[in-house]
Amino acid sequence: MPAFDLALGLWMIRRTANMTHAVVAKPTDCAPSMSNGGSLVPGFNRPLHFDYSPDTDYSSTQISKPMTIGQWERIMSIRRCLAAAAAVITAGFALLYGPAFAHHSAAPFFDPESRVEVEGTVTRWIFRNPHAILFIDVTDDSGATEEWQIELGAPVSIRRAGLSPDTLEVGQRVKVSGQRSRAEGSRGICCGPITWPDGSPIR
C-alpha cells in the first residue's frame, strides 16, 4: 500500500508539472498540415494544454456568447412593434395630410382664381391612377372644335362621387367647370364637378 501511495503521488506531481509547463501552440499548429503539392492531408496538430503565464494580462479578453432563445424573441418582438408603429404613423400621415397635398399639388398648374365652364362631347374617358382624365370636344363661337382635357382625382376618390369606368361613354355630352390651366394656349380644367348638360349630377 505505501508503494501504491508513492506511485500515485509521483504521478500527480508529474501531471501538475506537465500542465504548468505545457508547450504553447503556434498558430500553424492548429491548422491542417499541407503536403503533396498543396493537397489537404486529414488530421490536425492541436495542442493538448494551454500555457498559462502569470505575466500575461487576460483582462481584455472577451468571449462572445450566442444569444439565448429568450433574447432573440425579445429582439424580434421589439422589431415587430417598431414596424407596426411605423405603419400606423404612415397611414395616419396619409389620411391627415394626403388631401391637402393633393389640393396644393394642382396650384402650380391650375389657377384657382380663373374658373371656366365648358360643355362638350366625350371623346375619351381614362379611369386609372394616378388621376382619371376626361377628354371632350367643345365647339367655340366660331364653330371650330377644340379638345379640352379635364383632370380629376384618383379613381378611389371619384368613385365616392359616383363615377366609375362605365359611367361615361364616347359621344355623351357633359358640362364641366373648374380651374383653368395656367399653361398659355392650353385647354385644361381641374378641380371641378362634371354634370349632365342640364346640371344634374352624373351617377
- Cα(153)–Cα(113) distance, integer angstroms: 20
Per-residue pLDDT, 21:
45
Give the pLDDT score at 38.
42
- Which CATH superfamily hosts domain 111-195? Nucleic acid-binding proteins (2.40.50.140)
Do 180 and 191 touch, CB atoms closer than 8 A? no
pLDDT of residue 171: 95
Residue-level pLDDT at 2: 53
Q: Domain locations in the chain?
A: 9-58, 111-195
CA angle 119, 121, 122 (to 5 degrees): 120
Q: What is the per-residue pLDDT for 61?
A: 52
The whole-model pTM stands at: 0.47
pLDDT along the chain (203 residues), means of 10: 55 54 44 42 45 55 64 81 78 48 57 86 93 92 91 89 90 92 83 88 82
Query: What pLDDT is recorded for position 54?
Result: 58
**Residues 16/28, Cβ–Cβ less than 8 Å:** no
Q: 137-165 pLDDT, tens per residue?
A: 999 888 899 999 999 889 998 888 888 99
Which run of H or E residues covers position 85?
Answer: helix 69-105
Taking the C-alpha atoms of residue 147 and residue 189, their distance in angstroms, rounded to an integer, is: 11
Cis peptide bond N-terminal to 130, omega within 30 = yes
For 75, half-sphere exposure in the C-beta direction (CA atoms, 13 angstrom radius) is: 6
Our CA dihedral for 91, 96, 101, 106, rounded to 10 degrees, sits at 120
Given this model, what pLDDT does residue 60 score? 53
Cα 40 to Cα 55: distance, rounded to the nearest angstrom: 37
* Alpha-carbon 142 to chain mean position: 55
Which segments within 56-192 are labelled E, that is strand?
A: 110-126, 133-139, 145-151, 173-181, 188-190
What does the pLDDT read at residue 191?
80
